[in-house]
Structures are given as structure tokens and as C-alpha cells.
Structure 1
Amino acid sequence: MSGKVEFYRLSKKFVDEKEAPPQVKQLEYYALAIGHHVGVVDCFSPVMNMAREEYLKWIAKLPQTEARRKMEGVVKWGEVEITREHVRPLIKALTSAAPVFLPEEKKWVDCLLQLLWSMEREPAIYLVVRSL
């Protein structure tokens, strides 16, 4: 099994200002709700990556919950979005499995927890996890 898994964070949005009304912030939230059909382009920044094998070993340590199934979706579909609705279940799964993580995995957990907590504060932020 080769390849890697990369986590991306929404870092900013690009709005074609010729088409956007003055309430750009409101447009960004609206675009998230309707699926980006109004000229808003998401700009993502890579925040974490690992070998695909390492990713599979890591998520296998999560409890059998919806959070784990979400993370397994990367393997099944090649990509998943982590949105605000996934934050609480993922935080719970990551913290409950904390004692079994290896040192490198704990670094990934810490990084992901920081991202999830930032998503709690700012609902427009989301993550994309992609298998490359």
C-alpha cells in the first residue's frame, strides 16, 4: 500500500468581487450552505500529512463510532470533508483513544484537535482529508 493522506484547512475564500455584493462575509456563509454556486472559491492550505499505511493504523485505534467511519471514508472515497457537525464526535473519539496512540500519532491528534477546536469557534472553517 503506497501513497499518503493529507489534511487541508480552509485558509481563505476568494470571491469574484465584480459579482459579489458588499456583504461578502454573508455571501461566504451563504455559499457554504448552497454548495459554492455563487462565485466563491475555497483556498486550502495543507496542515498535516502522513503515509497512507500510518493513517490506516492510526484511525484503526479509534473507537467504532461514526467519527471513525468518517475517517475511514478517506480510504473508501479518496476524500472526505470534515465540517462543524463532525467536530464533537471526532474530539470525543480522539480523546477517548489517547492512551493507545504512539508518540507520532499523538502529534497528529494534537494537530487535529487544534483544528477541530478552531472549527468550533469559526463555523465557516472546514477540513478536507485526501488520499493521494
Structure 2
Amino acid sequence: MQDNNMQNKVKFFKLYKKFVDENESAPEVKQLQYYTLAIGHHIGVVDCLSPVLEMEKEAYLRWIGKLPEGIGKKKLEGLAKWGELEINKDHAAPLAAALSEASPRFLPEEKRWADQLLQLLQLMMKDPVVYLVVRLR
């Protein structure tokens, strides 16, 4: 039986290591590489994830509660239901827009979280291999 106190933290992780030597692969297989790396944790491949952001669950829920209704907010709300979520390049633009719109309502600590997440989303838009995993622990 899992202790409920074990699920009081929200942790964001970023993929930080690739298992494919991009210098040795042909340009024709780049999309296949990106796809394989993106779905790796679903098929049992060990991801090299680095923690990049952590907060209390209640603080996270208050923070995302300030986001405008829409795709970005709905994505982050999924954590409460599923206990884990993935943020990839397809989610980057809607999340960035939601964070930017809600920024005036954020407390200073929430603003720091938003700024850090926005930096990661911008990186994700430039490099489609980068993705985030958010876990409730």
C-alpha cells in the first residue's frame, strides 16, 4: 500500500541524454530517432531524465488553477488524474501561451516556476527530441 504522503511532491524531469549518436546517422532517419526517443519510456527503454523543477502538490494545483481555460491548463490538470504526464513539442506552444497569459496573477515563486518552464518549452520548440515528464510523488 502506498503512503499518501509519498504523493505530495510534483517533479518535472527533462530528457537529458540521447542513446543515438547523431553524427553516425543519416539525415533520412532523424524523424525515426526523434520518435523512438519520444516513446522510449512507453516501451521499456530507460530514459535519462534529469530533475529540473519541484514543488508541493498543493502549490502546483494552486499555480495551474490560475491558468486560463484551454489546452495548456487541461494538459497540466491531467497530472492529478494520471499521476504522470509527458510534455512534448506538441504541447509547448499552448502551455507557453497559457503561462504567459496567467503571468500577472502568479505569486513570485509561481513566476519563477513559470519562467523556468517557459525556458524549457522554448528549448523543446527548437529541439523536438527534448521532452518533459511530470510525476506526482
- Asked if 2 retains the 8 angstrom alpha-carbon contact of 1:11 and 1:44, the reply is yes
Q: CA RMSD in A?
A: 2.5
Indicate the residue corresponding to 1:29 in structure 2. Answer: 34
d(CA) in 1 for partners of 2:44, 2:59: 37
d(CA) in 1 for partners of 2:73, 2:124: 19
- Deviation (angstroms), 1:32: 3.7
Segments of 5+ residues of structure 1 without an aligned counterpart are none
- Deviation (angstroms), 1:28: 2.8
Flag the structure with higher strand content: 1
- Number of residue pairs matched by the alignment: 126
1:94-126 Cα shifts (integer Å, max 9, x gaps): 000010000000000000000000001101100
- Asked if 1 retains the 8 angstrom alpha-carbon contact of 2:18 and 2:37, the reply is no
User: Between the two proteins, what is the percent identity of the paired residues?
Assistant: 53
Taking structure 2 as the reference length, the TM-score comes to 0.82
Flag the structure with higher helix content: 2
Taking structure 1 as the reference length, the TM-score comes to 0.85
Indicate the residue corresponding to 2:49 in structure 1. Answer: 44
- Deviation (angstroms), 1:39: 8.6
Indicate the residue corresponding to 1:4 in structure 2. Answer: 9
Task: State the one-letter code of the partner of 1:127.
Answer: L
Segments of 5+ residues of structure 2 without an aligned counterpart are none
